[in-house]
Each structure stands twice: as C-alpha cells, then as structure tokens.
Amino acid sequence: MKRRRSSRAMEWTRNTILILLAITALVIFFNLDIVRKGDSVFTNSAKRQLKFSGALDRKDFTDKEINRIANYIKVRKKLFKEIKIDASPQDSYKKVTPTTQVLFEIHVTMADGFTFSTPVRRTQRARLSKAIVSKLDKDVQVYLKLKKEGKTPKSLINTM
C-alpha cells in the first residue's frame, strides 16, 4: 500500500514537471519573434524583399548565395522596400558554369520611395552573389552619405 502511494505521488510530481517543461517550451517558442527583434521565425522579410528576374531566377541561385544577399538586406531592412536583381548569362546559348560571364543589374526601391538602378555589370557566375552585395553596398553607402548631408537623392546613384 505504501509503495502504491509513493509511486502515485512520484507520478504526480513527474507529470507536474513535464507540464511545466511543456509550458516553458511553448512560451519560448511563441516569443522567438521578440528574441529576433521582430523578424518572424516563419517568414524571412529579407528574402521577401529580394526579387529576381532575367535568365537567372531564384532557383538558379544556391541557398548560400541567397542567404548572403538576404543577410545584407536583413542588417539594413529599414532602408529597403524592394531589391530586384536582373541577371543573365552573357552568352545565352552556352551552358552556365562557374566561369560563365554573367551580366547583372540591381533595381532598388528604398523605404522612403527613392529608386535607383545600377548600371549593367559583368562578373563570373561563381562570384555573382559577392559582386551583387559589393555593388549594392557601394550604392547604399553613397545614399546614406547623401541623406546624412541633408540632401534628397532624386536621380541615379552611379558608383563604379
């Protein structure tokens, strides 16, 4: 009889601890957005701001390449409304390999409504995501410099 009572008390204790652990896990799960500073766990806003056009579409980029560009956007998410990357191989009949020359341009819409497009650039396919981030960063730095000086950019930002 005593053994039944102790096992019943042990079972109640074990169940109570499991319930508390489950509640703690739920609280942590539903507060992940707070930990990520408002960026949802289920929808990545940086990837939604990133659009692709041209012969090379989103499916032609690896996850690593998209994440590199999305991480740049995520850090500066308050600046951007939309970024559209237009990329195509220089020779459309040739198979795309890491050494294939790719032409790309970037069309950016900033949060304040200002839009700019980069001139067409050429790079190898293997270096495409790095070249996109590099060019985007140059233009954003000029944009921020103009904003800091109190100027309102109204035309193309052209950095080489």
Residue 53 lies in a domain: yes
Residue 144 lies in a domain: yes
Does 17 share its domain with 45? no
Query: What is the pLDDT at residue 77?
Result: 83
- The mean of the pLDDT values for the chain is 84
Does 81 share its domain with 123? yes
Residue 97 lies in a domain: yes
Does 17 share its domain with 68? no
User: What percent of the chain clears pLDDT 90, i.e. is strictly above it?
Assistant: 34
Asked if pLDDT for residue 3 goes beyond 70, the answer is: no
pLDDT in tens, 64-111: 999 999 999 888 888 889 999 999 998 888 888 899 999 999 999 988
Query: What is the pLDDT at residue 119?
Result: 87
Among 26-30, 53-57, 73-77, 87-91, name the one with the lowest average pLDDT: 26-30
Does 63 share its domain with 112? yes
Query: What is the pLDDT at residue 105?
Result: 93
Number of structural domains (the chain) is 2
Does 106 share its domain with 130? yes
CA dihedral 46, 49, 50, 55 (to 10 degrees): 160
pLDDT in tens, 107-146: 999 888 888 888 899 999 999 999 999 999 998 898 888 8
Query: What is the pLDDT at residue 101?
Result: 94
Does 48 share its domain with 97? yes
Does 81 share its domain with 24? no
- pTM as predicted: 0.69
Does 83 share its domain with 17? no
Q: Domain of residue 65: give its range.
A: 39-148
Residue 159 lies in a domain: no
Query: What is the pLDDT at residue 46?
Result: 66
- What Rg do the C-alpha atoms of the chain give, in angstroms? 25
Does 15 share its domain with 88? no
Q: How far is CA 148 from CA 12, 105, 115, 127, in A?
A: 63, 26, 18, 31
Decide: 54 and 88 in contact? Cβ < 8 Å: yes
Tell me the CATH number at 101: 3.30.160
